[in-house]
Amino acid sequence: MDIREFRDLVTSGRPIEPGTPAQAFMRAVCQETTRLAIELNTVYHTPDEVRRIFSQIIGEPVDDSFLLFPPFNVDFGRDTHVGAGVLVNSGCFFQDQGGITLEDGVLIGQRVTIATVNHPMNAQQRANLLPKPVRICKNAWIGSCATICPGVTVGEGAVVAAGAVVPKDVPPLTVVGGVPAKTVRQIQPGE
């Protein structure tokens, strides 16, 4: 299996089952990602070095405007896609087997978790992984310690308050907060 075949499986909506080539591929990639994350997190790196290592983690180059403040934790790495002008603050965790897209201008606060995998409620199937992509749209801001759940899209210009748990989509130009996150208010154009 290669990354293209893995992404095809993920986008099909089928689970990743134990003992399958997809799980073996995912585990092998996770081992390489762990090595790179340890390299990123254990000594000081210049911003250019951080971008180089992060690009190796995700398997594609990032824009020179991308900023990441370690430590950064990720378990898979190969299904994260980052636009220009993105900031990822320290202590974040990305579980990206289902795919994470951070569009241009996205701001990610400290200790944010973005999860793209869940498990079935059926106990006999619980070891299966159910991947669903997360998309954080252009100029959205995710506050510190927020958790974005699998399958969520955060709309353009939206704000997720610190500590929020977001289990469903956030409309554009909307502020959400709480557990589970609920609409706090709308952002007025130009605000």
Residue with tokens 């990032």: 62
What backbone phi and psi angles, to 5 degrees, belong to 31? -65, -45
* CA atoms of 154 and 170, how far apart (whole Å): 5
Catalytic residue among 17, 18, 35, 119: 119
Quick one: DSSP state of residue 74? E
Q: Is residue 119 flagged as an active site residue?
A: yes
Residues classed as catalytic: 119
